[in-house]
């Protein structure tokens, strides 16, 4: 019979798995319902236009209405008119985008003197990605820190490193959105809101501020759970970060996070172009800027909302930013399609990460010289 401590850990893992599964199913189910509602509205519009054409006065008026009906009909997604190759490439880009953040997490761990293999840090990052579908977002930290603890990283530095990666992801994302939105045909209030959010989100990524923020979100007391190894209080761990290490993390972290947002933005751009639309597709540079700004701002605001996966908030922000560029119907369908695609990719990567981390030869952390 395993010791009580191991039993509790096993029960905790089962509970976490159940909570994550429920969150994923709920988010996926809601996305499918939204998709069906939107396509039903388009079909209803087609039926109304058909009736209007039948009762139109004159052949010319009827033909104009029928042309409008055909345009709406062509914009209804089906298995035949969706560009599946672009969706496949979008899925690959999205996966690479969120995997790049694993290198940011690895860099954060190195500031505390813990060297973790690239595969392990990426696996811990992608495993915790599905934790965002549990309300409160705390499950992301629990899952990533728990995965890192399995390879020898104490809980406190692991948890602080997760916060550091998250703050940087949000700060860089808000900055990217704030810059790109300047060139988009969106309301002025949205431009200033994006710029304000960028400034506010970047402040916690500055090394002196980052220490204070991390100390506020982490407990200052040492517990039995984290007393193994060199782990101590959050204050002790943060005091070990040399200024040069903090600067290195900020520079390298920004670079990898920019790569991440480029992948995520590119994935969303391809998703938009893969879904049929009644509106004419804009030029690729404009579509790329709008897609990246929209998905970055949507994910940042969705994170702040603390809703599971930013449900509902992301779609609202995406449609607000994208409607002037691709049209309201295409914007909403693309937002829903992106939600479904991201869930599928994150589940697949989480499954792969779980398999990698449970292997006996998974990389153990080692102290830096």
* Coil/strand/helix, residue 95: helix
The pLDDT score that the predictor gives to residue 226 is 38
The pLDDT score that the predictor gives to residue 45 is 86
**What percent of the chain has pLDDT above 70?**
82
Domain residue limits, the chain: 79-363
Mean pLDDT of 312-320: 80
The pLDDT score that the predictor gives to residue 264 is 97
Tell me: pLDDT of 227 over 50. no
Tell me: pLDDT of 349 over 50. yes
Tell me: pLDDT of 5 over 70. no
The pLDDT score that the predictor gives to residue 327 is 85
Mean pLDDT of 103-120: 91
The pLDDT score that the predictor gives to residue 250 is 87
Angstrom distance (rounded) from CA 283 to CA 40? 29
The number of residues in the chain equals: 369
Tell me: pLDDT of 278 over 90. no
The pLDDT score that the predictor gives to residue 344 is 94
The pLDDT score that the predictor gives to residue 263 is 97
The pLDDT score that the predictor gives to residue 269 is 96
Tell me: pLDDT of 342 over 90. yes
Alpha helices in the chain (DSSP H): 4-54, 59-74, 84-111, 118-129, 138-150, 155-180, 188-202, 207-217, 234-239, 243-274, 284-305, 313-326, 328-357
Mean pLDDT of 223-247: 53
Tell me: pLDDT of 216 over 80. no
Most confident of 95-99, 135-139, 208-212: 95-99
Range with the poorest average pLDDT among 15-19, 163-167, 361-365: 361-365
Q: What is the pLDDT of residues 43-60, one digit of tens each?
A: 888 888 888 888 878 788
Angstrom distance (rounded) from CA 99 to CA 101? 5
Q: What is the pLDDT of residues 282-315, one digit of tens each?
A: 889 999 999 999 999 988 888 877 666 555 677 7
The pLDDT score that the predictor gives to residue 197 is 82
**What percent of the chain has pLDDT above 90?**
31
């Amino acid at each position: 019979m395993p010791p009580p401590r191991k039993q509790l850990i096993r029960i905790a893992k089962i509970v976490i798995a159940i909570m994550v599964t429920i969150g994923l199913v709920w988010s996926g189910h809601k996305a499918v319902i939204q998709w069906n509602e939107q396509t039903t509205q388009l079909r209803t519009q087609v039926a109304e236009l058909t009736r209007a054409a039948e009762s139109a006065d004159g052949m010319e008026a009827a033909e104009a209405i029928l042309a409008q009906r055909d345009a709406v009909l062509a914009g209804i997604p089906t298995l035949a008119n969706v560009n599946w190759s672009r969706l496949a490439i979008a899925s690959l880009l999205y996966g690479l985008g969120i995997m790049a953040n694993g290198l940011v997490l690895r860099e954060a761990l190195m500031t505390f003197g813990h060297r973790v293999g690239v595969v392990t840090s990426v696996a811990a990052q992608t495993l915790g990605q599905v934790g965002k579908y549990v309300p409160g977002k705390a499950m992301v930290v629990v899952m990533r820190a728990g995965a890192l603890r399995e390879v020898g990283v104490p809980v406190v530095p692991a948890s602080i490193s997760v916060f550091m990666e998250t703050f940087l992801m949000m700060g860089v994302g808000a900055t990217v959105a704030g810059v790109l939105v300047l060139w988009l045909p969106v309301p002025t209030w949205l431009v200033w809101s994006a710029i304000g959010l960028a400034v506010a989100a970047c402040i916690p990524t500055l090394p002196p501020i980052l220490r204070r923020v991390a100390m506020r979100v982490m407990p200052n007391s040492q517990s039995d759970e984290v007393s193994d190894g060199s782990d101590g209080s959050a204050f002790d761990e943060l005091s070990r970060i040399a200024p040069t290490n903090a600067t290195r993390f900020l520079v390298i972290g920004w670079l990898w996070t920019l790569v991440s947002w480029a992948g995520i933005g590119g994935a969303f751009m391809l998703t938009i172009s893969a879904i049929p639309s009644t509106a004419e597709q804009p030029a690729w540079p404009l579509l790329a800027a709008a897609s990246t700004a929209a998905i970055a701002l949507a994910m940042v605001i969705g994170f702040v909302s603390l809703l599971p996966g930013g449900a509902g908030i992301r779609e609202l922000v995406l449609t607000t930013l994208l409607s002037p560029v691709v049209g309201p119907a295409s914007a909403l369908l693309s937002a829903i399609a992106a939600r479904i695609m991201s869930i599928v990719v994150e589940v697949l990567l989480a499954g792969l990460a779980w398999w990698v981390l449970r292997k006996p030869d998974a990389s153990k952390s080692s102290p830096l010289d």
